[in-house]
Structure 1
Amino acid sequence: MNARIEADYLIETPDDPARAAEVMAGEQSSGTFVKLPGETDALLQRAAARVERLEVLGTVAAPSLPCAMPDRGTGYTRAAVTLSWPFENIGPDLPNLMATVAGNLFELRPFSGLRLEDIRLPGAFAAAGPGPRFGIAGTRRLAGVAEGPLIGTIIKPSVGLSPEDTAALAGTLAGAGIDFVKDDELQADGPACRFEDRVRAVMRVLNDHAEWTGKKAMYAFNLTGEVDDMRRRHDLVRDLGGTCVMASLNSVGLTGLLALARHSELPIHAHRNGWGALSRAPMLGWSYPAWSKLWRLAGADHMHVNGLGNKFSEPDASVIASARALMDPLFPDKPCIPMPVFSSGQSAVQPPETYRRLGSADCIYAAGGGIMGHPDGPAAGVQSLRDAWDAAMAGIAASDYARTHPALARALETYA
């Protein structure tokens, strides 16, 4: 097999960028800091990484990150680099793919900046992970939402609520017409709100509500933990009629998500908490398109992308680029497309621009204060989000739509 793994990087270096790129290739394949007897021409031909592309982008006067190599007097050069590796180096192995494309290279001496921008995988990787088993279509089916976004929210306070408190709030939200509810990432199995007790209390309320109305809100229970615990917790949710589980990706790791996904009979809501440490520095870490490809293949059915006008540091253009990247198929026969999740400071204000820039309503649109903080109560908060999205999808200005939709009008007065 001659297929190769490819990865694109943005680098910054005081060294000659071509030499720095060769250092990257050596470190992440067959090389080390000196020539060794076993490093034969035949071995290099078979296993060495190659520099496939080098495009100099310009120079800056000061390093973006502390650099162990002194400036040669020519500044710090930024360049776009593409490396490739023989597929046979690792085979279709996601954890070792991560070690290959995002391993020790971040700490190499010649670099004052290094960021992984994208990866491209041979078709053999389609079998490396289960991929989303539910994705958009399966999530819509289980939530009973045929079109438009799933209107969702997050249980707050993050911690401190008892199982009974959580269930009461879930019942209020179900009565308000919510489509989707999730645990906060900080609430998993704390002594004051044990996972099993919370699931039993919440599902009792949601199952009762479904019997009365025919609609069961999808609740993503945070089962983050060790693999055996996650499997056991998943089974409890499934057996009690639950329709979603949630895991914190950076906490459970690739192998944890793979184990959960291979076991799961429910959609996996993948939370990206900790993402800022991997992405916030412009010249260090990962881009979301590269990072998300691994988790998509590993089995994430829903993936967070932040939201427009969010409470965090991420600009709107990055949020939309992340969401759109999730819609780009990984392989022709296995697209691995999860449902994007918009959250963080969302209200009825952002849907028009979100829909315009995304070009789709295939998403979970989660608002906390935008629902619970509505002056006319949670039901009006849910309705205001539906109204905002309905207006956006119909091409009607929210201000015009609000004239005949009072929940939206009050939301725009409150949050604009």
Structure 2
Amino acid sequence: MAGEQSSGTFVPVPGETPELKARSAARVERLEILDERIETPTLPTTAATSGVEIRRARATLSWPIENFGASLPNLLATVAGNLFELKSITGLRILDIRLPAAFAQAYPGPRFGIEGTRRLAGVKDGPIIGTIIKPSVGFDPQQTADLVASLCEGGIDFIKDDELQADGPHCPFDARVRAVMQVVNAHADRTGRKVMVAFNLTGDLDQMRRRHDLLVAEGATCLMASVNSVGLTGMIELGRFSALPIHAHRNGWGYLSRHPLLGWSYVAWQKIWRLAGADHMHVNGLANKFSEDDDSVIASARTCLTPLFPDKPCLAMPVFSSGQGVRQAPGTYAALGSTDLIVTAGGGIVAHPGGPAAGVAALRQAWEAAVAGIPLDRHAREHRELEQALGAAA
């Protein structure tokens, strides 16, 4: 691993002198054997395994920054490049990554983060209560705006496009933005508080720049990008020119992480995107509809709230989503110990028996109870919306 990803290759080559190795070779800082012999390799391999001991270990490697400089794309080519293909390794997962201060100087990190998001959303404390436009696709711009209007009247803090809704002919980005911002701006004029809407501008660089400029012109306060779709360079450029908070959606995360012995840990992966400029990072949610367990979700959320550098924290607001509703509030708060989060309940709000406004009220009531340490069923005795939501979720 160290040789392949620094000065070495599959055979000795002229010029790879001891002096060059001392200057440029990766180092194995620690090797901890975790298991005795493994009978079956994690992945099939063309390497002859008959009679060869297969063991699992935790390795810590380091690279001289002079090899690639303070460059996130080239960092990834080094730590997550050809290592996964080596036939002598039958499984590899990146658990964490520690970056020198040069990366903090080279990249902006989140421009808004937690404080800026709260300021623009008008939420000084407590969780930011949000939802997702549902149905995910199928509404036209006016239908989308009508739903947004009812959510605004219901007291929502945050609304986001579903990641499947982009710029299709049935609901073009420009028309959707203008229709939605008309109702958002009108609501702000009446109430003095502007609901934050994260519009999905995922596309190529020119498209994202043009869509960003339209959002700014229409008075929007957030944008959304699917980070695995736009790629690292796309995200870096978006972070450099965006005048709005960036809501980073991680769709596709499963193919990077679902096998426990392959791919990435979120603890390592999210650091790259925060440094590139993500202000909000999706972390899944408790009792979610996907395969991730609750401990992993909370670990992901905590790491978003953990500083990257002593002098540049680069904190990002964790976004809880995926099948969220009133019942997850107590467990989420107890495990995270913070209300610095966005909760996006799609069906949990828009499918409330009393309508979207009642769904907003119910989720807010659930979080009020969680923070106050009041059991949900007791709080529901005096809060009809919460009572209805608990009945619907039973």
- TM class by smaller structure: over 0.9
Report sequence identity in percent: 67
Write the mapping of 1:128-143 to structure 2, written as runs, cut at 5 A.
Answer: 128-143=106-121
2:32 alignment partner, SS class: strand
Partner of 1:208: 186
**How many residue pairs were aligned?**
393
2:167 alignment partner, SS class: coil
2:78 alignment partner, SS class: helix
Write the mapping of 1:1-400 to structure 2, written as runs, cut at 5 A.
Answer: 24-58=1-35, 59-73=37-51, 75-400=53-378
Q: Which has the higher strand share?
A: 1
Is the 2:134–2:350 Cα contact (8 Å) retained in structure 1? no
Name the aligned partner's letter for residue 25 of structure 2: A
Partner of 1:5: none
In the TM superposition, residue 220 of structure 1 has moved relative to its aligned partner by 0.3
After superposition, the CA RMSD in angstroms is 1.0
CA distance in 2, matches of 1:297, 1:68: 37
Is the 1:302–1:340 Cα contact (8 Å) retained in structure 2? yes
Name the aligned partner's letter for residue 236 of structure 2: L
TM-score by length of 2: 0.98
In the TM superposition, residue 128 of structure 1 has moved relative to its aligned partner by 2.3
CA distance in 1, matches of 2:175, 2:113: 28
Is the 1:26–1:48 Cα contact (8 Å) retained in structure 2? yes
In the TM superposition, residue 75 of structure 1 has moved relative to its aligned partner by 4.8
Name the aligned partner's letter for residue 145 of structure 2: A
CA distance in 2, matches of 1:34, 1:219: 55
In the TM superposition, residue 71 of structure 1 has moved relative to its aligned partner by 2.4
Gap runs ≥5 in structure 2: none
CA distance in 2, matches of 1:68, 1:331: 41
Partner of 2:390: 412
Name the aligned partner's letter for residue 196 of structure 2: M
Is the 1:94–1:128 Cα contact (8 Å) retained in structure 2? no
CA distance in 1, matches of 2:54, 2:361: 53
In the TM superposition, residue 409 of structure 1 has moved relative to its aligned partner by 1.3
Offset from partner CA, 1:90-131 (integer Å, 9 cap, x none) = 111011011111000001011111001000011111022110
1:53 alignment partner, SS class: strand
TM-score by length of 1: 0.93
Offset from partner CA, 1:226-282 (integer Å, 9 cap, x none) = 111111111110111100000000011111111111101100000000100000011
Name the aligned partner's letter for residue 36 of structure 1: V
Is the 1:128–1:297 Cα contact (8 Å) retained in structure 2? no
Is the 2:134–2:347 Cα contact (8 Å) retained in structure 1? no
CA distance in 2, matches of 1:108, 1:296: 29
Offset from partner CA, 1:373-397 (integer Å, 9 cap, x none) = 1111111111111111111111111
CA distance in 2, matches of 1:218, 1:177: 12
Is 180-189 or 63-72 further displaced after alignment? 63-72
